[in-house]
Structure 1
């Protein structure tokens, strides 16, 4: 089973990389782009075949290592392929 974790900063947390991307897009002529937020995607190959167990394991991984839950949110996607 494959898992994909999307980690983003919580609303209200300063995102300097997002601001730099926003400014650079404007400098490149892309108008109408605002409030850019950036994040990261973590892909995992799991041996677990039970979706509920896989999601629980990935949630534990996020809470312990993959996301700083004080300032970051995360979402989990599972794919049985």
Structure 2
């Protein structure tokens, strides 16, 4: 496996965010949304720290549950969400 560094651009607020995000649209059935937690936990274990979700995806709660369950500090994760 090749190691590489993910670019981390600095925003005008001074915040630094990872340059690669995991999209959190998984489908719209209740089964898809509930099952997404395992997917998010796998992504966190693989090193993802930036998640792009939206209210319409319905995955904000399961993403939050996965982040809490993962044991990583919330400050290490960036969550981008969009309102309907």
TM-score tier, shorter chain, comes to 0.3 to 0.5
The two structures have a TM-score, normalised by structure 2, of: 0.34
Q: Is the radius of gyration larger for structure 1 or structure 2?
A: 1
Specify which structure has the bigger relative contact order, considering alpha-carbon pairs within 8 angstroms and separated by 6 or more residues: 1
